[in-house]
Structure 1
Amino acid sequence: MSHESVRVVYRKYDGSLHWHHRGLLLGEDEHGVWTGCVAGSSGHKGDGPPVVWPYAFVMLFPRDGWWTAVFNAAPNDVEIYCDVSTVPRWSDGEVTMVDLDLDVIRMRGNGRVFLDDEDEFEEHRVRYAYPPDVVENARAAADRLLEAVGAGAAPFGSAAPHWLARVT
């Protein structure tokens, strides 16, 4: 498999480094740009030690959405993990965005969908003084994601398996 490498960098609103890793640039479709990591890939949270991921996954970076999505290969218990973020920006082989704390998660097996880290969002909204438009866009994105992920609407239905097949 010869895919171009891409650097994925999440930051917090104050600019501090959050999750970051290298991935494979898989391609683009109507939903956005897809990257992937094979099982055993690693990343870092901030300046912390490497974290090794035992399962393959692909990530979707929409062109205009205030979110990113991770689609995990089985048997990971978390099937879909969406980070509410600023709109992903691409430059020189790197995609960057600001993690806005809210996460929409769909569990594998029972299909339970839920919103996580609302407390962290409220804490950071105050600490980092999120502007009103950031708060509004983050909450709107979380609401849309809860509905779309829960309903299995595109791209949360059948889009990911095609891309996952490229890293599993």
Structure 2
Amino acid sequence: MSSQVQVNYRKYDGTLHWNLRMRRLGEDEHGVWLGLPADSVMRKGDGPEVPIECAHVALFPRGTWWTAVFNAPPRSTEVYCDITTPVEWVSPDEVTMVDLDLDVLRKRAGATLLVDEDEFAEHQVRYGYPADVIAQAEAAGRWLMEAVGGGAEPFGTAYRPWLAMVADGTAG
């Protein structure tokens, strides 16, 4: 049976943002893969549970300024990348990172979008993002637009076997 991992996205001031428990599926050259079956839940901060209708897997790569979620159909967003500080494994059962607002997503219909630029600009002021954090986030956004839009791995097919593990219920 796979172990449970607490996933904690935080804002730059340390406040808890999106958080959930996911199943550890495994690790490959892209990073650590966690998954959730359909009809799971997550929370924003300490708020109420938010239902997650479709199965999905999350990739937590090493040393990058992003994380990625890959959603099963019929969810209209196939790939959703959060631009974040590099992930920190607090323990084998907990991963955390700072959400830097910008997101890159690929719709199942094919469009790749960079979103939340207004929130990124607002939070640069509110939280006082240092210049190097702004530069890293912007560079990650540019790289992701090309990689996700072009179907480079892990955004091409590498995620599919991991997603199948939670979509068909084989992940303990």
TM-score bracket for the superposition, by shorter chain length: over 0.9
Q: Identity over aligned residues, as a percent?
A: 59
Q: Which residue number in structure 2 is paired with residue 75 of structure 1? A: 74
Partners of 1:165 and 1:153 in 2: CA distance: 19
Shift of 1:145: 0.2
> 1:91, CA displacement in angstroms?
2.0
The CA distance in 2 between the partners of 1:43 and 1:79, in whole Å, is: 18
- Secondary structure, aligned partner of 1:133: helix
Question: How many aligned residue pairs are there?
Answer: 166
What do the CA deviations read for 1:99-143 (whole angstroms, capped 9, x no partner)?
A: 0000001001x2100100000000000110000110000000000
Cα distance, 1:55 vs structure 2: 0.5
CA distance in 1, matches of 2:165, 2:4: 14
Whether 1:43 and 2:45 are equivalent positions in the alignment is no
- Give the secondary-structure state (helix, strand or coil) at the position aligned to 1:120: helix
Unaligned runs of 5+ in 1: none
Once residues 6 and 73 of structure 1 are traced to their aligned partners in structure 2, the CA distance between those partners, rounded to angstroms, is: 20
The Cα of 1:52 is off from its aligned counterpart by 1.1
Q: Deviations over 1:136-164 (max 9, x none)?
A: 00000000000000000011001111100
TM-score with structure 1 length normalisation?
Answer: 0.98
- Runs of 4+, deviation exceeding 4 Å: none
The answer for the alignment partner of 2:129 in structure 1 is 130
2:65 match: 66
Q: Which runs of 5+ in 2 are unaligned?
A: 168-172
RMSD of Structure 2 on Structure 1 (CA): 0.5
2:87 corresponds in structure 1 to 88
Letter of the 1:104 partner, please give it. Answer: V
TM-score (norm 2): 0.95
